[in-house]
Chains A and B, each alone.
Chain A
């Protein structure tokens, strides 16, 4: 192959995506319940949620593999709801890779171009460029069966992007890979997606994957959107109890607003103790507060005076050493659970001063109090 032929570049013709009121009913199950969402050109959005919440169904409706019961899909401002799947110009990665087993790596990558009537002469350099992009240039003549899982998914990625899709859809693309490979593939896919500026929708039920890869995360529950936001927004400002508990771990404390002071609301916690909260949540008397376990620090009960902010007494139930942190499971006086993650540093002795049965004072900065809807 000449140097000129290999100089082809993989480019993209990314478009923005909008879905409005997207609904799918299977018999009596409402799999997806009126989802409305806009995704900007070049953005990677992750659909995250528990099993069966309708992520795959949503993605397949966008692709055109499932016909929506109601609602519309717009790609680049064009309504494609009734456009057949093969004319939507979409790239898609499947959990099981879905490489054509009887075609070589190069033939797999060439498939979409062939379907578009691209000439053989034009296909070759494009395929070479796409394979080079996923670092599989030397594997062009192999059959998929002779590749590892990670390599297969990279071929699938090359096959999906070589057609310069308006949209890249990924349905748990890394679900079948082991942890280390998954992490490096997350970075690789993200880099390629950013470099080419492809609009992408990633379905996953792995929260770390969503937080690592996505510009914005969409939390779904029971076929509905629970919250949409940047990873930082979703993690530190969850709107509902569901979101707070689904992304990372969280403590939930019930309390009553008992007054105002200079810094904000003063709240009496049901489990004893007090909390201050600067975020005012309207006029609600009863509040539900989410506190991340890593914000909680522990002290002997007698030292409670030295710890400002919010706090309450608790009884240690179990101490679990987890490497980077020690997890302390406690119960509050009203029986509710409380969890603290105490960081461990190399060279320091693990936290031994808290053992089951101990009474401790659990406290956290008031800025860590975050009100959530009890959903």
Chain B
């Protein structure tokens, strides 16, 4: 009863709309856009993959799994899917190997050096993928006039011209170049978040620089690495321009196959099935990486609990 001794007057209140409503209202334009131009077309395209396309060309009922069956049972299609996975895997691997030194230069370098490195890494993004890939065509050309083969010749590696162009390796090389910035940026952000004193503590405790990197810096940069790997793997697996321009028939990837099915064979259900597989690969890569890391994090969490 003592509390009532204080005189109480409420502050005047204004009408305030519920916060949730405001939030939804602000999201609406973006949601609408995504719904109309992403979700709807995707659903339509993916639905083609389970519909039939008779000789007349009109896609419609009945439902059928025949496109998927053809995709799975045909060795040629399976080969293309494997090529796609392999190229994406190697591209991710080489990109991360190349990205670490660059990301470390950006995260730990002196401000000017760091900014210059950053610009050099990002600058290629302003040039169209098509132009950059034409560049690789010139560099990797299989005849003696390709820059690489010319260089080997000049340096006296007196062998027959190496045949890189129109193979998986050509795609990997060009893709590493194209996607490198997308690996460097999240990695640099992750590295910059690591307390510099952690590395110093490791050094003082007796770790040579390389061991401090392996035991401290590397594990702590994993979040950035995960982000980079997910992006690079998904984009490489989904790429079209690069394999189309430097892959040739030996480096046929799903993106190119998809385009052929739709533009050359006019087989929309098959194209849609390939698209579905590509979406599956992208989601699978994300989920796989999540699962790998999430499992470790969960184990950590369990251990860190009081017991």
Contact = CB atoms under 8 A, between A and B. Distances in A.
A65 B304 contact: no
A37 interface: no
Interface in A79-122: 84-92, 94, 96, 98-102, 104, 111-112, 115-116
Contacts, number: 74
B204 A63 contact: yes
B198 A85 contact: no
Interface residues of A, number: 32
Given A101-B220, A115-B206, A163-B205, A94 B303 contact: no
Interface stretch (A14-22, A142-150, A186-194, A344-352): A142-150
B197 A86 contact: no
Contact of B207 (A86, A90, A143): A86
A120 to B, nearest CB: 15
B195 interface: yes
Number of chain B interface residues as a range: 20 to 34
B290 to A, nearest CB: 18
A86 B204 contact: yes
Contact of A90 (B204, B208, B215, B306): B204
A141 interface: yes
A112 B204 CA distance: 9
A321 B274 CA distance: 83
B34 to A, nearest CB: 37
Contacts of B204: 63-65, 85-86, 88, 90-92
A176 to B, nearest CB: 12
A96 B201 CA distance: 11
Contacts of B203: 65, 85-86
B304 A159 contact: no
B304 A146 contact: yes
A115 B211 contact: yes
Interface string B186-226: 00000000010110111111111001000110011000000
B307 to A, nearest CB: 7
B300 interface: yes
A163 B201 CA distance: 13
A159 B306 contact: no
A179 B304 CA distance: 28
Contacts of A102: 219-220, 300
A100 B304 contact: no
Contacts of A88: 204
A32 B216 CA distance: 31
Contacts of B303: 104, 141-143
Q: Which of A65, A84, A85, A146 has the most chain B CB within a 10 Å cutoff?
A: A85
A194 B303 CA distance: 34
Interface of B: 195, 197-198, 200-208, 211, 215-216, 219-220, 300, 303-307
What are the 6 closest A-B residue pairs judged by CB atoms, nearest first? A115-B206, A143-B304, A112-B205, A98-B201, A98-B197, A92-B204
